[in-house]
Amino acid sequence: MGSIFSARSGSPFSIYDCTHTSQTACPLWIANQAIPKSGSSTLAGQNLFNYIALPNTAGTVDNQGISLGNPTCTGLFHSGCTYTTNGQPYPERNQFFGPHFWNIDMNFYKTFKLTERFGLQFRGEFYNILNHHNQYVTTENIDVSSLSTPFIQTEKGGPYGVPGTCTTSGCDERRNIQFGLKLMF
C-alpha cells in the first residue's frame, strides 16, 4: 500500500484591464482602494464561484481605463514615464492568489508466487481517491474590461480553468482507477 498526498498554496495571478491594450499585452488593472489578495468562494452558478469582490459601481468594475498600454515618457531611456492616466502607481504583477488545492493518490498491490522463479503482482491504483474537486481561477475571468460581474471567479475543474469543462465533458479532476497485472521473473 502506498499513498501520495499533495497540498499546494494558491497560484499567483494578475488582474488585467484591456481597455487601453497595446499590440503585445494588456496592462495590469489598478484598484482605487485596497482589496483582498485572496478570497473565499461563494456559489454563483453550476461549478462557478465568486472569489474576490472588486470595487464596483452598479455592477461595473471601478477604475477601468486608468492603466495605459504604452507608457507616456518625458525623457530618454524610459525615464519620467507614467503608466496610468491619473498618476497612480502601477501595481506589481502576480499580487493575487487563487484558492489552495490538494489531492490524494493511493495504490494497493499484492504479489503472489506462482513458482520459485515466477511471481504475479496485482495492482490497484487510485488517482484522486476521495474524488475531491479543487477550484481554480478561470483564465478568461481576469480582464476587468470584459467581466459580466464585479468578481474574480473560480471554477471546479482542471488547473487551466477552462470554462465549461465540468458542464460539457466532465471535470478534469475526477477519480481515476486502474488495475494491472505484472508478471515478474
Q: How confident is the model at residue 3 (pLDDT cuts 50, 70, 90)?
A: very high
pLDDT single digits (tens) 19-36: 877 667 788 888 888 888
Alpha-carbon distance of 179 to 107, in angstroms, equals: 10
pLDDT computed for residue 23 by the predictor: 66
Cell of 20: 487601453
pLDDT single digits (tens) 144-179: 888 888 888 888 875 544 544 444 444 567 788 999
pLDDT computed for residue 64 by the predictor: 84
Nearest to 126, CA basis, from 149, 103, 144: 103
Q: How confident is the model at residue 18 (pLDDT cuts 50, 70, 90)?
A: confident
Task: Report the number of secondary-structure helices (H) and strands (E) in the chain.
Answer: 1, 14
Show me where the domains of the chain are located. 2-184
Lowest-pLDDT choice from 40-54, 72-86, 120-134: 72-86
pLDDT computed for residue 163 by the predictor: 45
pLDDT computed for residue 22 by the predictor: 65
Q: Tell me the average pLDDT of the chain.
A: 83
Q: What 3-state class would DSSP assign to 182?
A: strand
Contact 2, 105 (CB under 8 A): no
Q: Is this model's pTM higher than 0.85 or not? A: no
pLDDT computed for residue 171 by the predictor: 52
Q: 3-state SS of the chain: helix, strand, coil percent to 5? A: 5, 45, 50
